[in-house]
Amino acid sequence: MKIPKRLEPLIEDGLIDGVVRQLMSGKEAMVFVVRCGDDIRCAKVYKEANKRSFRQAVDYTENRKTKNSRQARAMAKGTRYGRQAQEAAWQNAEVDALYRLAGAGVRVPKPYNFHEGVLLMELVTGADGDAAPRLNDLSFEPELARQYHQTLIMEVVRMLCAGVVHGDLSEFNILVGSDGPVIIDLPQAVDAAGNNHASDMLERDVANLRNYFGQYAPELLTTDYGREIWALYEAGALNPEVKLTGQFAKSEKAVDLGAVLREIDDAKDEEAARRLRLQTPAQ
């Protein structure tokens, strides 16, 4: 096939040797099957911001920093250079998340390179050796639905242990490879500790899994893994080997408001005394 213009620099630099075919075109990128020596991989070519439907909502970009002060100012002002810098940061977020999650053992495609706005990574294949189908293109017997649901819930846990929340996880960005589900599409991934919306996003990701697999195994519809996982994370008790129940019971223990107010007053008194000591000349 004709070489897409965005892939030409990768061929010139020897990162890929040829383009086999276009695999898909989504809301944020086009994906091509490419040859790299004897290997077959995929190249994700990001669309320009004005040509894709997914918008960089503030909930996702909250707390994403740039070390370059000029870029930060331009991004804040919304200049052309700033928009370009913001777009680069958006793409880099997926690359960074992918490398972090692959290093943590999460079931994501193995990344190989990121060059000129193109992410070169593993091509996930199905049992027949062809490109793996998306989860939403398949149907399941109840037992396999339960198995895949449990696998993906533990992948959500593993991601959170690595400090990442997917933020847009659903049956549309999960592939079913020859050895099970693989999570894809991470440009909206957020830092769990640095984003105030991370808990809501995680609960939504988990709810999407529950609702999808609940079509095939209805008992899953009564589970509440999202809040259980986040509560364990906040308590510092989450790990990749954690045993989950799928249930969550919010503590009904009444807050001792009087004790809280007394602690606040004590702290104010201590601070006032400290300031007084600083203002009083030594004798």
C-alpha 94/C-alpha 119 separation (Å) is 9
Measured between alpha carbons, how far is residue 136 from residues 208, 212, 213 in Å? 12, 8, 10
130 is a catalytic site residue: no
Distance of CA 213 to the CA centre of its chain: 20
Separation between Cα atoms, residue 171 and residue 58, nearest integer Å:
24
Closest residue by Cα to residue 189 from 105, 120, 73, 99: 99
Catalytic residue among 39, 59, 130, 168: 168
* 168 catalytically annotated: yes
Supply the DSSP string of 143-183, one letter for each residue. HHHHHHHHHHHHHHHHHHHTTEE-SS-SGGGEEEETTEEEE
Is 190 within 8 Å of 100 (Cβ atoms)?
A: no
Question: Could you say which of 185, 200, 205, 256 is catalytic?
Answer: 185
Catalytic residue annotation:
168, 185
